[in-house]
Structure 1
């Protein structure tokens, strides 16, 4: 089983997420960028997702809403760099904290038939980063990565 590693070093405004998948970079990248596949895996177990906008091009935007027993959770951002099967640079914003925009760099590393995805997120402050962790983001990230494994297996 593939494990998701989430690292948030004390006193830094960064979160790093690393996960390996039993799929090629092209397969993982497609799952990460195809609007038809995104709702199948992005978000925690037990909720639903409404994908409002998802344009994975430089300058393209995304917006989606997760709904669960706690209510609605909206997210949005802008894609800045898009290198097919290699890298995505995007902003990430949670509607609950609209002033805390992070910059995320995702890399898709070819491991010879497997892929390592590394996400490096930079927050505007350590407090902002700590707030994201306190929000329960770890559960959402781990659930999403497990659900992505299921999508890639089909």
Structure 2
């Protein structure tokens, strides 16, 4: 079985990034991996020695979430947010903010899950506070980090389907 595929990034507006990625799994499983802390922790755990130390997600409108990762150096990177919309297996929207606000303020993230023939396309639209904030995010290794996590998600999804 081949796993997923590399993500693609488009820039539909001056303050937006759209990340699209396909997964070889039905959308209810991909959705579960985004909304159930035990599954989130399995694929969103850090790279290169980073350890996810906090993983909380309350999957309802108004529900809060919190993620923290600890680097080998001891540095802790944290982020959190509030779920603003949720439609089981098809849509999650949230407002989020990193503790070290490198994104120039709160971002809005929408996740749309679409399934065709047992394969799910995830479209993640991230709206930043400004073009400068979006460009700052693009200048980081964000895409590489996301694809690293998505490859782990491919493995979790394959295990869930056995």
TM-score between the two structures when normalised by the length of structure 1: 0.91
Within 2, Cα distance between the matches of 1:67 and 1:80? Answer: 27
1:41 to 43, 54, 60: 43
The two structures, once aligned, show a CA RMSD in angstroms of 1.8
Matched, 1:81 2:85: yes
Q: Contact 1:43–1:140 (CA<8 Å) still a contact in 2?
A: no
Q: 1:34 to 1:28 in 2, by over 3 A?
A: same
Within 1, Cα distance between the matches of 2:148 and 2:126? Answer: 18
Unaligned runs of 5+ in 2: none
Within 2, Cα distance between the matches of 1:5 and 1:44? Answer: 21
Q: Which moved more, 1:125-134 or 1:14-23?
A: 125-134
Q: Contact 1:8–1:14 (CA<8 Å) still a contact in 2?
A: yes
Q: 1:67 to 1:7 in 2, by over 3 A?
A: farther
Number of aligned residue pairs: 153
Q: 1:44 to 1:16 in 2, by over 3 A?
A: farther
Give the 5 Å matches for 1:4-153: 4-8=7-11, 12-46=14-48, 47-69=50-72, 71-97=75-101, 99-153=104-158
Q: Moved runs in structure 1, 4+ residues, more than 6 A?
A: none
Q: 1:43 to 1:15 in 2, by over 3 A?
A: farther
Q: 1:117 to 1:52 in 2, by over 3 A?
A: closer
SS of 1:31's equivalent in the other structure is: helix
Unaligned runs of 5+ in 1: none
